[in-house]
Amino acid sequence: MLILAIETSCDETAAAVVRDGRFILSSVVSSQVAIHAEYGGVVPEIASRKHLEMITPVIRQALDETGVALSDIEGIAVTRGPGLLGALLVGVSMAKSLALACRIPLVGVHHIEGHLLAGFLEQPVPFPFLGLVVSGGHTHLYRVDGIGRYRILGRTIDDAVGEAFDKSATLLGLAYPGGALIDQLAQSGNPQAVKLPRPLLHDGSLNFSFSGLKTAVLTHLKKQSALPQGQELSDFCASFQAAVCEVLVKKTVAALQQEGLTRLVVGGGVACNSGLRASLQKMSNERGVELHLAPPKLCGDNAAMLAVAGDAYLSAGCQDDLAMDATATWPLDQVARWEQLP
């Protein structure tokens, strides 16, 4: 099946053409990072307006790059939620308009579902597996028994890990978005230089909390006469990243043991972090865990990742009607489409 996928959940306007839920024919992403950098974070109203401006040219480019016409498209997959409601509405409205005009089936896909299955575009992973999604808006652990069959095991109770990276970077005087800058600086730093907390590490749950770590960063910096520079800054970034990675890896190990799983899939924007990838690979080697890390090009928000689930649903005759609406909050384990799949 030839799928047109559309993603507008936050600050990237994206479209992709994917065949059979596996083969990316085109993937176009228009980022708003430079626009929101002035404000130190994503401004929802500005994001929505930029999506309105870019959605048509992005879709046109995705089609043009493959030489595919709208009449060749056999189905549309669009991010229905969760995300910024105004931003989501742009993508959902466009998807419904195209589905109506071209008389092709439409399905709304969960944003986290897209991240969980992004790696399938390069190599399918056998079920069941443990899924770890780490991004600017999400930090979740899921047991995945098949497409559409998800059970949440743990989640952040406050800040997502990507948000903690970016907000801590701002406190350090780094440009937005600062997560990648922390990662870069950490590579030449001493991860034991600064003692930082590991929130909820020993609470017995699989949940995460990163607001306390962010507060610890602020408290530490207030005690200093000036913001760290040079090697001191690298050391601080390495210490912060080490704290984050230790929590993520140890909670993941606990989830693998609880569920009796030996297969791990990791996706989301923070899955690009070199420290996290190295820590997970080390854990995998030591424990014999089959590790599947989404390739960096598919970690951030993109439309192609939606086509994996979208193709599975539409091929099984599972589609949404034009009454489908965007939803800012949508627990993944309430997707409940698996009963309609073969």
DSSP character string of 133-170: EESSS-EEEEEEEETTEEEEEEEBSS--HHHHHHHHHH
For residues 220 and 201, give the distance between their C-alpha atoms in angstroms, rounded to a whole number.
Answer: 20
Q: Which fold has domain 2-117+301-340?
A: Nucleotidyltransferase; domain 5 (3.30.420)
* Residue among 319, 69, 35 nearest 177 (CA): 35
Residue 243, C-beta contacts closer than 8 angstroms, at least 6 positions apart: 196, 197, 198, 213
Give me the pLDDT at residue 291, please: 98
One fold for both 2-117+301-340 and 127-294? yes
What integer pLDDT is reported at residue 341 of this predicted model?
59
Strands (E), 215-326: 263-267, 290-293
Q: Strand, helix or coil at 296?
A: helix
Say how many residues make up the chain. 342
Amino acid at 216: A
pLDDT at position 340: 56
Upper half-sphere CA count for residue 124 (Cβ side, 13 Å): 11
CA distances from 161 to 1, 212, 293, 320 (A): 35, 12, 17, 32
Q: What is the pLDDT of residue 337?
A: 62
pLDDT, residue 333, reads 85
Distance CA(315)–CA(308), nearest Å, equals: 11
Q: For the packed helices 211-222 and 161-171, what is the interaxial angle rounded to 10 degrees?
A: 10
Those residues whose C-beta lies under 8 Å from the C-beta of residue 310, and which sit 6 or more positions away, are 3, 5, 21, 75, 76, 77, 107, 109
**Per-residue confidence in pLDDT tens, the chain, 342 aa:** 999 999 999 999 999 999 999 999 999 999 999 999 888 889 999 999 999 999 999 999 999 999 999 999 999 999 999 999 999 999 999 999 999 999 999 999 999 999 999 999 999 999 999 999 999 889 999 999 999 999 999 999 999 999 999 999 999 999 988 999 999 999 999 999 999 999 999 999 999 999 999 999 999 999 999 999 999 999 999 999 999 999 999 999 999 999 999 999 999 999 999 999 999 999 999 999 999 999 999 999 999 999 999 999 999 999 999 999 999 999 998 886 655 555
Cα separation of 38 and 14, whole Å?
A: 22
Indicate the SS3 state at residue 109. strand
Q: What is the pLDDT of residues 323-341, one digit of tens each?
A: 999 999 999 988 866 555 5
Domains of the chain by residue range: 2-117+301-340, 127-294
- Token pair in block for residue 38: 């002035």
Q: How far apart are CA 205 and CA 68, in angstroms?
A: 49
Token digits of residue 88: 């989501």
CA 330 – CA 267 distance, rounded (Å): 18
Q: Tell me, what amino acid is at 259? A: E
Fold for the domain defined by 127-294: Nucleotidyltransferase; domain 5 (3.30.420)
pLDDT of the residue at 334: 82
pLDDT digits (tens, 9 = 90+) for 162-193: 999 999 999 999 998 899 999 999 999 999 99
